[in-house]
Amino acid sequence: MQIEVIVNLKKIKMEVDANEFLADTLRKYGILSVRKGCDTTCCGLCTVWIDDKPTLSCTTLSFRANGRKITTIEGVHKEANEFAQILVAEGAEQCGFCSPGFIMTVLAMKNELTNPTEETIVHYLTGNLCRCTGYMGQLRAIKTYLGVL
C-alpha cells in the first residue's frame, strides 16, 4: 500500500507492507539515523517524533503514520548538535549507538517540560537505555541543556 507522510518537512510517498514497521520503512527510504536495539519497545533507540511526540518506531505500523508529520534527528540537526556538544563536554558520549533516539527524547523533553525536577527528567527518560555511560554524565548534560542546574 502507499502512504504519504511528511518526513523532516518533506512530503514523501512511501510503499509499505501492511505489517511493516516505521523504523524499517524510514531506513528503507534512507533515514539511517533510526536504529533498532531490541525491536520490543524496551530500549528507545528507534525513537522518532510523530506529530512532535516521541514514538517508538520499531512497533508503530507504518500505515498508521499516513498523513502525519515524522521528525528524525536529521530534521532537528541544529538543536541536536547543540545538545551533543554538551554531552561531549560532560563525557557522556561513548559508543553513540543510543544517541539518535536518546537525543530525540531529550529535545522533546525540552519542548514539553518547563523547569523539570531531576526526578521528572529521569522518569521521562525511562524508555531510553544506554549500555555505556552509566547515565550520570547524560543527566548532567540534560540539566545543563534545560538550564535546571
The residue written with cell numbers 524496551 in the block is 42
**Cβ of residue 112: shortest distance to ligand FES, in angstroms?**
19
> What 3-state class would DSSP assign to 5?
strand
Stretch that binds ligand FES, among 33-41, 79-87, 106-114, 115-123 (CB under 6 A): 33-41
Contacts to ligand FES from residues 114-143, by CB under 6 A: 130-133
Question: In 13-149, which residue ranges form alpha helices assigned H by DSSP?
Answer: 22-28, 77-89, 99-112, 118-124, 136-146
> What 3-state class would DSSP assign to 92?
coil
d(CA 57, CA 97): 16
d(CA 46, CA 101): 6
**Cβ of residue 16: shortest distance to ligand FES, in angstroms?**
17
**Cβ of residue 114: shortest distance to ligand FES, in angstroms?**
27
Which of 4, 131 has the CB closer to ligand FES? 131
Written as nine digits, the cell of 92 is: 557522556
Which of 76, 102 has the CB closer to ligand FES? 102
d(CA 146, CA 109): 9
Which of 43, 73 has the CB closer to ligand FES? 43
Which of 105, 133 has the CB closer to ligand FES? 133
Which one of residues 6, 29, 33, 97 is an interface residue with ligand FES (CB under 6 A)?
97
